[in-house]
């Protein structure tokens, strides 16, 4: 529920520097605490020991269900946050012994349609101690677990929001949603992991800034989280601190700004060097792509011409100013074979450049956000200043009303890969800092709560996205790119039990009156979404229970990310090898071109112009994954029969005992001479495995 409207106290920076970072008790290894998750012998459930010697019977899920055991509702009073409790413990694993030793840490989700990025299956899920222990049918599980009947519902991995700014000190104020309200809103919408940005001031130590952000998040986050770190200045110290963050602080991504001149913006030489260093460290380089020099000039001209309102913001940052920067960032990153992730893709022109560069083999990923996928920039011309200012963000929303649809189509085709929100909210009072000058309006909009509902309504219901593609772009791809996979982004044995049970037949109307953000405005106000979360499970705990919020302040865990994500860097290695410069051996005996042309030149050479016959490099056209059940597969393979047979052909290791994908398997395959950034991505396949498919639209009558 929206509250605290226009409250000055919201502009402070709560808890700044008071606490030390909280150690992660479970260790940095994804699966250190699930030693047998991948063994064919089957998982050794902690509860099994108790089960054998106790009266608790084994339950066969194909038989009658045991009575549901309601999960503990938090009982600690919390005056400040009435619908949550404060988590007093250091970790959710160690101090909640009572929870862990009781049946309440066991959960069975039955009868749902389980959607992963590469499959849709009618299977049950058994969760114990925060981890998915079994996936399949006729599971043999310990008794006394809570049962959730998911009949008629989809069940998919918790959302991963790649882009938030909670309590960001910015433009003379601080974004109003802190790590408590922001993550609560995330959970309400089905997102269980957020990735926020540490943004040091120019000249500030990156480690010091990182520790500040960790303090804010560690005490308050209701959902899991980690950090990208912005490189806002450049020096030897910054280089060393980037290495330190990668080595010892679980950071594997760094963002540079091409905008915010004189504040955060780096020049091209610096950007080149940051990219080169990211590559060396095995990190992902991220870019806020807008030409800050042009924006500065435009702003001065507009203000001089008397345009001071929010429309000036849009006019100062036209689409080609974004597209130019995206292109430049791609060129720079490509010189040093650095993987590039373009945050908040706001325009068709920018998205097209990403698609073109990917088709040329660049390692580049594009992240449209909830705002660019569901609304447009005509709002900047609204007669109400408050309304127009509420939409101010950079890059701006585009006045072209086609933009959201085109970006959604491009997500469906894998021209774009992930979705975030750039959730960075400012109250109307905060936005009013720029009432006489649009350049002073704090930039930022909401979206962390609405992202999944908007993606489902505008993507799946319209058949631009299949349910599997929805999962890919709301969690799996992000998890793969940032090396969180398979801990996050998949429902499989050994993964964190971050699960959403989604009712495709439920409708919700978005409103600032009912949202969980502290902001007094919602840019999606009045939009009706078909499909909404009914249950959200985080680390095995039911935090949205039939729509009732049961979040716990501080329950969220920091999730460290390792460098060199295989999903990204396997391709980079191949590409780098392919493009290694080689000199020409001029022995005087040959005329014409040698056989050492680099691949990027070969494509432009007529076949008979040299000694070697040179195939043109034509990337495979990307097909939309059709939502039509059991669609024909080009090579004639029948992927409609048992899902795991598809896996068997695609993966090299044996499946797990329940038939799940072996998480140690690589997703990388040398399927083409010249792979694009994620040819290894099963989401690119022209078909997905569908078992007892829902058919047609996701709303309306269900199977």
Residues that bind Zn ion (CB under 5 A): 422
Report if residue 176 touches ligand URP, rule: CB under 6 A.
no
| Residue 299 CB neighbour total at 10 angstroms | 20
**Closer to ligand URP at the Cβ: 344 or 516?**
344
**Closer to ligand URP at the Cβ: 443 or 475?**
443
User: Pick from 10, 193, 417, 443: which binds ligand URP (CB under 6 A)?
Assistant: 443
- Indicate which of Zn ion, ligand URP, none lies near residue 15 (CB less than 5 to 8 Å, by partner kind): none
Q: Identify whether the C-beta of residue 170 lies closer than 8 Å to the C-beta of residue 129.
A: no
Q: Classify residue 57 by its DSSP letter.
A: -
Cross-strand bridge partners of residue 255: 230, 286
Report if residue 393 touches ligand URP, rule: CB under 6 A.
yes
**Closer to Zn ion at the Cβ: 254 or 639?**
254
**Closer to ligand URP at the Cβ: 232 or 468?**
232
Cross-strand bridge partners of residue 225: 194, 558
Cis status of the peptide bond prior to 395, with omega within 30 of 0? yes
Between CA 483 and CA 249 the distance in angstroms is 14
**Closer to ligand URP at the Cβ: 164 or 553?**
164
| Residue 397 CB neighbour total at 10 angstroms | 26
**Closer to Zn ion at the Cβ: 249 or 423?**
423
**Closer to ligand URP at the Cβ: 106 or 391?**
391
Report if residue 434 touches ligand URP, rule: CB under 6 A.
no
Minimum distance, C-beta of residue 443 to Zn ion, in the bound complex (Å): 9
Between CA 259 and CA 170 the distance in angstroms is 14
**Closer to Zn ion at the Cβ: 423 or 647?**
423
Minimum distance, C-beta of residue 106 to ligand URP, in the bound complex (Å): 41
Coil, helix or strand for 473?
helix
**Closer to ligand URP at the Cβ: 286 or 676?**
286
Report if residue 317 touches ligand URP, rule: CB under 6 A.
no
Minimum distance, C-beta of residue 444 to ligand URP, in the bound complex (Å): 4
List CB contacts of 535: < 8 A, sequence separation 6 or more.
Answer: 148, 150, 499, 500, 501, 542, 544, 545, 546
Report if residue 361 touches ligand URP, rule: CB under 6 A.
no
Report if residue 694 touches ligand URP, rule: CB under 6 A.
no
Coil, helix or strand for 336?
coil
**Closer to ligand URP at the Cβ: 165 or 184?**
165
Minimum distance, C-beta of residue 346 to ligand URP, in the bound complex (Å): 9
Between CA 599 and CA 601 the distance in angstroms is 5
CA neighbor of 507 nearest in space, from 462, 557, 453, 558: 453
Q: Where are the alpha helices (DSSP H) in 377-449?
A: 385-390, 403-412, 428-431
List CB contacts of 27: < 8 A, sequence separation 6 or more.
Answer: 33
**Closer to ligand URP at the Cβ: 345 or 688?**
345
Between CA 338 and CA 324 the distance in angstroms is 19
DSSP string, 541-577: EEEEETTEE-EEET---B----SS-HHHHHHHHHHHH
Coil, helix or strand for 367?
strand
- Residue window 267-306: x/- pattern of binding to ligand URP, with contact defined by CB under 6 A: ---------------------x------------------
**Closer to Zn ion at the Cβ: 346 or 497?**
346
Positions 617 through 646 that interact with ligand URP (CB under 6 A): none
- Indicate which of Zn ion, ligand URP, none lies near residue 518 (CB less than 5 to 8 Å, by partner kind): none
- Indicate which of Zn ion, ligand URP, none lies near residue 541 (CB less than 5 to 8 Å, by partner kind): none
Minimum distance, C-beta of residue 286 to ligand URP, in the bound complex (Å): 10
Q: Classify residue 194 by its DSSP letter.
A: E
Between CA 571 and CA 377 the distance in angstroms is 37
Coil, helix or strand for 313?
helix
**Closer to ligand URP at the Cβ: 189 or 394?**
394
Between CA 444 and CA 426 the distance in angstroms is 7
Coil, helix or strand for 125?
strand
Minimum distance, C-beta of residue 344 to Zn ion, in the bound complex (Å): 6
Report if residue 249 touches ligand URP, rule: CB under 6 A.
no
Report if residue 431 touches ligand URP, rule: CB under 6 A.
no
**Closer to Zn ion at the Cβ: 422 or 520?**
422
* Helices 319-335/348-359 angle, 10° precision: 20
Report if residue 422 touches ligand URP, rule: CB under 6 A.
yes
Minimum distance, C-beta of residue 409 to ligand URP, in the bound complex (Å): 23
In three-state form (DSSP H/G/I as H, E/B as E, the rest C), the secondary structure along 580-616 is: CCCCCCCCCCCCCECCCCCHHHHCCCCCCCECCCCCC
Q: Counting every residue, how long is the chain?
A: 703
Minimum distance, C-beta of residue 604 to ligand URP, in the bound complex (Å): 38
Using DSSP bridges, classify how beta strands 191-198 and 224-230 pair: parallel, antiparallel or unpaired. parallel
CA neighbor of 635 nearest in space, from 619, 649, 651: 649
- Indicate which of Zn ion, ligand URP, none lies near residue 376 (CB less than 5 to 8 Å, by partner kind): none
Minimum distance, C-beta of residue 168 to ligand URP, in the bound complex (Å): 7
Taking CB positions, which residue lies at the least distance from ligand URP? 443
- Indicate which of ligand URP, Zn ion, none lies near residue 130 (CB less than 5 to 8 Å, by partner kind): none
Report if residue 444 touches ligand URP, rule: CB under 6 A.
yes
Judged by CB under 6 A, how many residues of this single chain contact ligand URP? 9
- Indicate which of ligand URP, Zn ion, none lies near residue 393 (CB less than 5 to 8 Å, by partner kind): ligand URP
Coil, helix or strand for 259?
coil
Positions 335 through 354 that interact with ligand URP (CB under 6 A): 344
Report if residue 358 touches ligand URP, rule: CB under 6 A.
no
User: Pick from 146, 165, 228, 647: which binds ligand URP (CB under 6 A)?
Assistant: 165
Cis status of the peptide bond prior to 158, with omega within 30 of 0? no
User: Pick from 345, 348, 424, 490: which binds ligand URP (CB under 6 A)?
Assistant: 424
Between CA 700 and CA 354 the distance in angstroms is 35
Minimum distance, C-beta of residue 36 to Zn ion, in the bound complex (Å): 40
Coil, helix or strand for 444?
coil
Task: Give contact residues for ligand URP (rule: CB under 6 A).
Answer: 165, 288, 344, 393-394, 422, 424, 443-444
């Amino acid at each position: 529920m929206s509250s605290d409207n226009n409250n000055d106290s919201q502009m402070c920076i709560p808890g700044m520097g008071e606490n030390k970072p909280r150690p992660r008790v479970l260790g940095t290894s994804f699966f250190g605490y699930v030693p047998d998750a991948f063994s064919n012998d089957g998982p050794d459930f902690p509860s099994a020991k108790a089960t054998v010697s106790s009266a608790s019977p084994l339950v066969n899920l194909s038989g009658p269900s045991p009575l549901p055991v309601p999960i503990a509702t938090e009982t600690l009073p919390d005056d400040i946050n009435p619908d949550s409790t404060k988590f007093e413990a250091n970790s959710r694993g160690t101090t909640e012994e009572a929870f862990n030793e009781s049946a309440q840490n066991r959960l069975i989700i039955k009868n749902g349609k389980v959607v992963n990025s590469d499959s849709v299956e009618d299977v049950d899920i058994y969760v114990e101690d925060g981890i998915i222990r079994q996936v399949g049918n006729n599971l043999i599980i310990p008794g006394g677990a809570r049962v959730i009947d998911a009949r008629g519902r989809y069940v998919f991995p918790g959302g991963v929001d790649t882009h938030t700014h909670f309590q960001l000190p910015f433009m003379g104020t601080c974004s109003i949603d802190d790590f408590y309200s922001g993550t609560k809103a995330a959970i309400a919408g089905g997102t269980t992991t957020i990735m926020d940005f540490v943004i040091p001031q120019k000249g500030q130590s990156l480690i010091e800034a990182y520790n500040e952000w960790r303090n804010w998040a560690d005490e308050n986050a209701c959902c899991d989280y980690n950090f990208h770190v912005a490189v806002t200045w450049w020096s030897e110290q910054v280089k060393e601190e980037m290495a330190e963050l990668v080595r010892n602080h679980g950071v594997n991504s760094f963002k540079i700004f091409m905008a915010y001149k004189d504040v955060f913006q780096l020049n091209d030489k610096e950007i080149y060097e940051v990219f080169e260093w990211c590559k060396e460290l095995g990190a992902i380089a991220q870019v806020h792509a807008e030409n800050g020099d042009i924006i500065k000039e435009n702003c001065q001209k507009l203000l001089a011409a008397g345009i001071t309102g929010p429309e000036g913001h849009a006019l100062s940052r036209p689409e080609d100013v974004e597209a130019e920067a995206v292109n430049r960032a791609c060129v720079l990153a490509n010189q040093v074979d650095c993987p590039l992730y373009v945050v908040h893709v706001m325009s068709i022109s920018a998205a097209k450049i990403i698609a073109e560069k990917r088709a040329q083999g660049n390692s580049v990923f594009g992240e449209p956000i909830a705002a660019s996928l569901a609304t447009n920039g005509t709002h900047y011309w609204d007669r109400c200043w408050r309304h127009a200012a509420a939409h101010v963000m950079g890059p701006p929303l585009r006045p072209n009303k086609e933009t959201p649809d085109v970006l959604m189509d491009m997500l469906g085709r894998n021209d774009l890969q992930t979705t975030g929100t750039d959730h960075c909210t400012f109250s109307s009072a905060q936005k009013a800092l720029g009432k006489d000058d649009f350049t002073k309006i704090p930039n930022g909009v909401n979206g962390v709560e609405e992202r999944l509902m908007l993606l489902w309504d505008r993507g799946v219901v319209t058949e631009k996205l299949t349910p599997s593609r929805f999962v890919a772009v709301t969690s799996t791809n992000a998890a793969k790119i940032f090396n969180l996979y398979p801990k996050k982004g998949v429902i499989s044995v050994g993964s964190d039990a971050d699960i959403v049970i989604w009712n495709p037949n439920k409708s919700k109307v978005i409103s600032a009156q009912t949202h969980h953000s502290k902001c007094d405005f919602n840019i999606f106000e009045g939009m009706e979404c078909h499909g909404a979360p009914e249950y959200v499970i985080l680390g095995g705990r039911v935090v949205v229970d039939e729509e009732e919020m049961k979040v716990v302040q501080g329950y969220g865990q920091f999730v460290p990310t390792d460098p060199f994500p295989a999903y990204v860097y396997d391709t980079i290695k191949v590409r780098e090898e392919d493009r290694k410069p080689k000199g020409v051996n001029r022995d005087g005996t040959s005329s014409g071109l040698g056989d050492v042309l680099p691949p990027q030149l070969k494509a432009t050479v007529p076949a008979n112009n040299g000694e070697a016959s040179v195939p043109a490099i034509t990337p495979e056209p990307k097909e939309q994954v059709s939502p039509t059940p059991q669609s024909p597969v080009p090579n004639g393979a029948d992927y409609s029969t048992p899902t795991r047979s598809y896996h068997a052909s695609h993966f090299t290791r044996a499946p797990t005992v329940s038939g799940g994908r072996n998480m140690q398997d690589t997703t990388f395959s040398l399927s083409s001479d010249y792979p694009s950034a994620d040819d290894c991505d099963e989401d690119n396949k022209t078909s997905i495995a569908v078992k007892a498919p829902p058919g047609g639209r996701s709303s309306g009558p269900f199977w």
